């Protein structure tokens, strides 16, 4: 009798596996047919821009722009299909077919989303990877450019420099960041204190997060004039070399210097040179839009100091980031507690500090007002290599976020979308009410969150374009 039950179970399991396989293959074929029928330009075959899980290039394409290894573990939900469009019709087909087969979409340009929302999902989904949309057209005479969303900032800057050494674009300093995500999240960079990026939908996608409203194919942007020569300052100090004192002075002058001068500071835990103990190294960097000879009188307007340009963190590791924004400088006792907190853990960290002026005429700042009237923002980053260390590092970052509560902006505690943090709150299965989403939405956008919800309701009432922190519909 036991033998018979075993045989029956075996047959049932075999039939289930076979049925599942056939069903899966049928869905794959049907989805591919849907893409084919909705793609107007047939110069590319389906296999050139649609990858199913069983194709050889699937894994390499998926992993190519994963910047945070925390989302490459076995528990991460992978996309059913990866679509790498070459034209608008491929994107339109992807949206139509994903909706028809009850799948969400994720949109990836550079893959730098801190919480991986451009390439992972809690729901069944299709990944639209914009890697093939990198065309850049520069028109110096008209002082503008067309740039497709899959291009990186580095590629964009290079193309501008090929045409002129007196024009630029006020975006970020990391060359591998995708243009699409950077602009739609309200990105900033080294010349934004002097220049910045500025009808409802177009307002919403410049800082409100483009993925809440659709897929942005390309951007027409205005170039800004820059001097033919710029000046960079470099220096790094440890605590033993007076870094804390220098940082206290620096935080008081950064927002008072002329807008031609960009200031930045980063801290990290390092080994002390004289012993085996840990210390904190503070690296200062500065970019001045002008020649070195003109900088000395500019810097003396506040307090002459030296600053340092540090390199980008390009290596891949598991990481977690969070952020704070401050209206007032840290006092001396605050810095002691702050550095003690960092030294209490033997981990790699990165502190990214930014000063800015309040200039309310910018389109970027109209969308993300959380940065107005703040003298600087701090970004924290902890990285690790072993998957089993994930939870302890996440707990530490959350405790640090709580520790900083007395020093930061309140009602709400401000945040910046391009430093995305799901600990601030998340939509459940991509859907949530306005009240629930306000927990995180007001932190990113303050009162502009209500306007973003209104735009979302008008342009995507079914809430198809959604993720764990997308703009909701009421």
Which residues are known to be catalytic? 419
Whether residue 290 contacts residue 231, with contact meaning beta carbons closer than 8 Å, is answered with yes
CA 12 to chain centre: 47
Is residue 349 within 8 A of residue 370, CB to CB? The reply is no
Token pair 């056939």 is at which residue? 22
Helices (H), ranges, 82-204:
88-100, 153-163, 179-184, 200-204
Q: Which DSSP category does 109 fall into?
A: S
Beta carbons of 124 and 92 less than 8 angstroms apart: no
Q: Using only C-alpha atoms, what is the Rg of the chain?
A: 24
| Spacing of C-alpha 385 from chain mean position | 21
- What is the rounded distance in angstroms from the CA atom of residue 324 to the CA atom of residue 333? 18
Q: How are the residues of the chain apportioned to helix, strand and coil, as percentages rounded to the nearest 5?
A: 40, 20, 40
Tokens of 340: 């003690």
Sign of the C-alpha dihedral computed for residues 140, 141, 143 and 149 taken in this order: negative
| Closest C-alpha to 453, from 94, 160, 208 | 208
Tokens 């033998």 belong to residue: 3
Cross-strand bridge partners of residue 320 = 382
Q: Which distant-in-sequence residues (6+ apart) come within 8 Å of 177 by Cβ?
A: 110, 112, 152, 153, 187
Contact 296, 258 (CB under 8 A): no
* Backbone φ, ψ for residue 77 (5° rounding): -70, 125
List Cα–Cα distances, 184 to 76, 89, 197, 216, 359, in angstroms.
25, 22, 10, 9, 20
């Amino acid at each position: 009798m036991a033998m018979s039950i075993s045989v029956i179970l075996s047959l049932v399991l075999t039939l289930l596996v076979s049925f599942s396989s056939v069903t899966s293959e049928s869905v794959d074929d049907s989805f591919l047919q849907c893409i084919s029928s909705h793609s107007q330009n047939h110069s590319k075959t389906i296999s050139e821009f649609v990858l199913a899980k069983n194709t050889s290039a699937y894994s390499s394409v998926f992993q190519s722009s994963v910047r945070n290894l925390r989302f490459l573990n076995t528990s991460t939900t992978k996309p059913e299909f990866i679509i790498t469009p070459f034209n608008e019709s491929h994107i339109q087909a992807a949206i139509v077919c994903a909706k028809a087969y009850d799948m969400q979409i994720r949109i990836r340009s550079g893959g730098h989303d801190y919480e991986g929302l451009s390439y992972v999902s809690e729901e069944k989904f299709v990944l639209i990877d914009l890697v093939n949309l990198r065309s850049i057209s520069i028109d110096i005479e008209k002082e503008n450019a067309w740039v497709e969303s899959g291009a990186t900032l580095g590629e964009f800057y290079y193309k501008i420099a090929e045409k002129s050494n007196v024009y630029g674009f006020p975006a970020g300093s990391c060359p591998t960041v995708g243009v699409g995500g950077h602009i739609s999240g309200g990105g900033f960079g080294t010349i934004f204190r002097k220049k910045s990026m500025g009808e409802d939908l177009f307002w919403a996608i410049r800082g409100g997060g483009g993925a809440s409203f659709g897929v942005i194919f390309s951007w027409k942007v205005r170039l800004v004039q820059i001097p033919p020569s710029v000046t960079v300052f470099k220096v790094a100090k440890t605590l033993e070399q007076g870094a804390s004192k220098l940082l206290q002075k620096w935080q008081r002058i950064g927002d008072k210097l002329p807008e031609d001068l960009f200031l930045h500071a980063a801290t990290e835990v390092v080994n002390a040179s004289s012993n085996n103990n840990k210390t904190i190294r503070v690296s200062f960097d500065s970019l001045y839009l002008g020649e070195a000879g003109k900088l000395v009188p500019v810097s003396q307007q506040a307090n002459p100091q030296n600053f340092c340009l540090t390199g980008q963190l390009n290596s891949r590791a598991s990481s977690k980031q969070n952020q704070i924004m401050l209206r007032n400088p840290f006092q001396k006792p605050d810095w002691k507690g702050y550095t003690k907190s960092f030294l209490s853990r033997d981990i790699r960290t990165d502190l990214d500090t930014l000063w800015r002026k309040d200039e309310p005429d910018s389109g970027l700042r109209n969308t993300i007002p959380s940065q107005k009237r703040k003298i600087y923002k701090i970004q924290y980053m902890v990285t690790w290599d072993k998957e089993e260390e994930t939870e302890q590092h996440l707990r530490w970052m959350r405790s640090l976020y709580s520790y900083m509560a007395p020093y930061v902006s309140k009602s709400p505690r401000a945040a910046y979308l391009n430093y995305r943090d799901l600990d601030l709150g998340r939509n459940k299965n991509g859907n949530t009410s306005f009240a629930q989403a306000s927990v995180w939405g007001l932190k990113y956008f303050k009162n502009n969150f209500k306007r973003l919800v209104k735009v979302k309701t008008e342009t995507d009432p079914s809430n198809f374009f959604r993720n764990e922190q997308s703009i909701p519909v009421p």
